[in-house]
């Protein structure tokens, strides 16, 4: 058997470039945030993109290709000023190419053996819980599917549920609702799919 991959070493985050699709027009947000790229929408005083990049940094990723379009200059200026710890490259669509076209263009900037493609509009769920009993005190639910999770979050707060009760609730896989369970696990330092740092 002649397997050319038999002696290949496993890929690491150092071997991976993250392509972040962040070229959205943000038309549904424009009345709220004004002329700002969707990935730069302010969340608790910071651009949404900042949350995503911080998570990538915590997990060891340093090579990033930002796939940009609408008002790309705002993103480039912010990144160059605020994120010197990354090795950034920018892939700019001069006209909308669609998701597949944006990925194909961004792949021309990748110089590592593999790439991880992320949607800059991905969301996050963060649960704030009491230290002694683990009771749910509040939540941050951000992202395009946030409305699918708000009811569970409101119920957990209203019923004074604990992290353990959220964790033991069935959340089907693969669905967006399992992010609620993952967030509860992360609040206890036991996350499965995300960093516990």
Please confirm, yes or no, whether 57 is among the known catalytic residues. Answer: no
Pairing of strands 114-119, 87-92: unpaired
Tokens, residue 112? 């590592």
- With beta carbons less than 8 A apart as the criterion, state whether 150 and 141 touch: yes
Distance from CA of residue 147 to its chain's centroid? 17
What does the longest C-alpha to C-alpha distance in the chain come to?
A: 61
Whole-angstrom CA distances from 150 to 47, 115, 138, 139, 146 are: 21, 32, 11, 9, 6
Q: Quick one: which of 195, 183, 150, 163 has its CA closest to 59?
A: 195
Catalytic, out of 5, 57, 171, 173: 173
* Of the candidates 156, 187, 158, the residue with the CA atom closest to the CA atom of residue 169: 156
- Indicate the pairing of strand 124-129 with strand 46-47: unpaired
Which residues are designated catalytic?
173
């Amino acid at each position: 058997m002649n397997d050319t991959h038999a002696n290949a070493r496993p890929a690491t985050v150092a071997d991976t470039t993250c392509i972040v699709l962040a070229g959205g027009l943000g038309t549904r947000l424009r009345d709220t945030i004004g002329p700002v790229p969707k990935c730069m929408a302010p969340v608790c005083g910071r651009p949404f993109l900042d949350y995503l990049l911080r998570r990538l940094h915590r997990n060891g990723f340093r090579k990033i290709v930002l796939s940009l379009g609408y008002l790309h200059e705002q993103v480039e200026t912010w990144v160059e000023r605020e994120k010197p710890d990354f090795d950034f490259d920018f892939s700019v669509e001069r006209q909308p190419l669609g998701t597949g076209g944006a990925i194909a263009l961004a792949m021309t900037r990748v110089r590592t053996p593999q790439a991880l493609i992320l949607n800059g509009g991905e969301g996050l769920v963060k649960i704030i819980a009491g230290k002694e009993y683990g009771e749910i005190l509040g939540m941050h639910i951000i992202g395009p599917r946030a409305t699918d999770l708000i009811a569970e979050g409101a119920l957990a707060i209203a019923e004074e549920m604990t992290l353990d009760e959220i964790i033991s609730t069935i959340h089907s896989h693969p669905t967006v609702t399992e992010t609620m369970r993952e967030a509860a696990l992360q609040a206890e330092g036991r996350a499965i799919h995300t960093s516990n740092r």
